[in-house]
Chains A and B, each alone.
Chain A
């Protein structure tokens, strides 16, 4: 079945550090891939998405590239800020299912 695996947290970085949160997936066909962010006490917000191989999603300085050959969608940011502290979820939606499959989430903490 479809699944998403993302690196376990928590991840703690200093402000302006480079961020990578790994995400790999298992799916049949060509799923769409998403990164969602959840700030404390709130619902999830879509951060970025990619719908086909080699697409790059980007938003607010975050980027992720859909790599079919490695079944990965790693999230990166060149210089993190304290305001980026949140939980990040990788997710996929396959063309054969109406559900979105979420990873377990990675908690990111940025210290000033």
Chain B
């Protein structure tokens, strides 16, 4: 059963700690994405990766870092430099760069930093 998994579903951290959110896909997709969603708002792109060992900053990359060492994995680290990290984080993947390729989303991780 192909899909995208994100773990954990809920994550709690103290301010000043780095935290890494997991995203794994078994769809054999080349491209992967991280979005942030705040209450009542749309999605904002943090980072994306089109191929292994390559990634680009999205619209709100400050305070975040990523790696893409394997095709199926794209972990996101929320660093202590991110001033307002509490949010719902969504990972997505797509088959490639063609304009008809839709993105498939994971179930999300809700991060709360206190």
**B-contacting residues of A (Cβ < 8 Å)?**
30-32, 34, 36, 41-46, 49, 51, 89, 93-95, 98-100, 102-105, 107
Contact = CB atoms under 8 A, between A and B. Distances in A.
21 contacts: A41-B108, A43-B4, A43-B105, A43-B107, A44-B43, A44-B90, A44-B92, A44-B103, A45-B105, A49-B102, A51-B99, A51-B100, A93-B99, A93-B100, A93-B101, A93-B102, A95-B98, A98-B48, A99-B58, A103-B42, A104-B42
The list of the 10 closest CB pairs from A to B, nearest first, reads A43-B105, A104-B42, A95-B99, A44-B105, A51-B100, A98-B97, A32-B99, A102-B43, A32-B100, A46-B102
Nearest to B90: A43
Contacts of B108: 41-43
Q: Chain B contact residues (Cβ within 8 angstroms of A): what range? A: 20 to 34
Secondary structure of the A contact surface, majority rule: loop
Given A43-B90, A43-B107, A43-B108, A99 B45 contact: yes
A89 B43 contact: yes
Contacts of A30: 99
Nearest to A98: B97
Interface in B73-114: 90, 92, 97-108
A95 B94 CA distance: 14
